[in-house]
Amino acid sequence: MEWTTSAAQHCARAGQLEVWIHAYLATGEWANPGLSAGLRRQQRWWRGPLEVALTDLERVCGPEAHMEYCQDAMTWEQAIARLQRGLHDPVQVPPLIVEYRRGVLSVRDGNHRHEAMRRSGWRTCWVVLWYNSEAEFLQDHHRWQEQSR
């Protein structure tokens, strides 16, 4: 499997988006087995990949004191610089994995990529969005339906 937005789009069309997500989170440079394990604790409802404005997403990791996952500034800056060098084609980058939290789009995987994209002048990125309830999934459907018109 490839860890690109293109590959995620292909899997989504085949009804295998969640399979792609867990495989992605389990292996390679982008591995995040803790997130995969947490996602498996209950049923999730998935949407995407979707193109979203970077400004519509909230990071939860970074050097800022208010971050849920605070990282020291030097480590953060090194990661951002390394990622910026590899950013060329948006569909060749893995989509960010984002949680819908009462209307807020919270970046749960890909915070470093988000910041590298922002600093590189990108205005949008690709995301895979999860919902913790079917009600939220259905309630938020209109946002994405209108966007695709």
Q: Quote the pTM value.
A: 0.93
Q: Which residues have CB under 8 Å from 100's CB, separation 6+?
A: 106, 129, 130, 131, 132, 136, 137, 140
Task: Say if CB 62 and CB 75 are below 8 A apart.
Answer: no
User: Where do we find the tokens 């690709």?
Assistant: 126
- List pLDDT tens digits, range 34-59: 999 999 999 999 999 999 999 999 99
Give the CATH number of domain 44-147; options: 3.30.2390, 2.40.50, 3.90.1530, 3.40.50.
Answer: 3.90.1530
The ranges assigned to domains in the chain are: 44-147
- List pLDDT tens digits, range 80-105: 999 999 999 999 999 999 999 989 99
Alpha helices in 73-131 (DSSP H): 73-85, 111-119
